Amino acid sequence: MIAGVEKFDGIGMTSARTRARMVERLREQGIRDEAVLAAMNSVPRHIFVEEALAIRAYEDSPLPIGSGQTISQPYVVARMTELLRAGRPLHRVLEIGTGCGYQTAVLAMLADEVYTVERIASLVAKARRNLRALKLDNVRIKHGDGSTALGEDLSVDGILITAAAREVPSALLAHLNVGGRMVLPLAGRSDDDRSVQYLTVIEKTPDGVREHTYDAVRFVPLLPGLA
């Protein structure tokens, strides 16, 4: 879907070869979905970080993007995307927490349509610039509060939330089609476990909701309101 990605390739730490090494590392770390790996290889991560940090863009670590937020490490982006896809085609995906737009771009390589919501206006502007540079035409960005009902008649087959919730957001779950998946970082349920977050998959089935817990992670909290 991305046209002319080559023009975003630099030399050394921003080259296509460096991106290919990142993908091989993801494969070694256990990412098995080849479509996800191809998407990660196609999206130039260095254009989503500050110019001074471009040399670190393909390290497996989060990096600051301003407004107290970070771009997730490549492994977490790939892992969440792999869990969301679960080996099936993605048609319409809702993303909560656009950030700088990197996860959005990866999703856009795999889905027919991505609708992404970000509460921080400065990040909405940054994500728009980044995604426009890649000429993605299947992404819609909204400056809005993604912690509650979106006030839209929206149905999706996948929801990805890039901020940690205490509970499964039922207002967002209402947008998910039967057979769809929600992937989010969810705080532990016991008093002793609330400081730990786990990647969690919520499956919406004809018989109700099923929940599966995976890797321990660390995300900023899912906050209400606009900024």
pLDDT for 72-118, tens place per residue? 999 999 999 999 999 999 999 999 999 999 999 999 999 999 999 99
In this prediction, residue 2 carries a pLDDT of 41
Domains of the chain: 63-217 (3.40.50.150)
Segment 1-13 shows an average pLDDT of 50
pLDDT band at 177; cut points 50, 70, 90: very high
| 15 labelled catalytic | no
Could you give the count of Cα atoms lying within 13 Å of 162 in the half-sphere of its Cβ?
Answer: 28
Place of tokens 């660390």: 218
- Check residue 147 and give left, alpha or beta (phi > 0: left; psi -120 to 50: alpha): alpha
What is the predicted pLDDT for the residue at 21?
94
Token pair, residue 148, equals: 């509650």
Catalytic residue among 15, 42, 61, 72, which? 72
Closest to 123 (Cα-Cα) out of 97, 90, 105 = 97
Distance, in Å, from the CA atom of 173 to the CA atom of 155, rounded to the nearest integer, reads 10
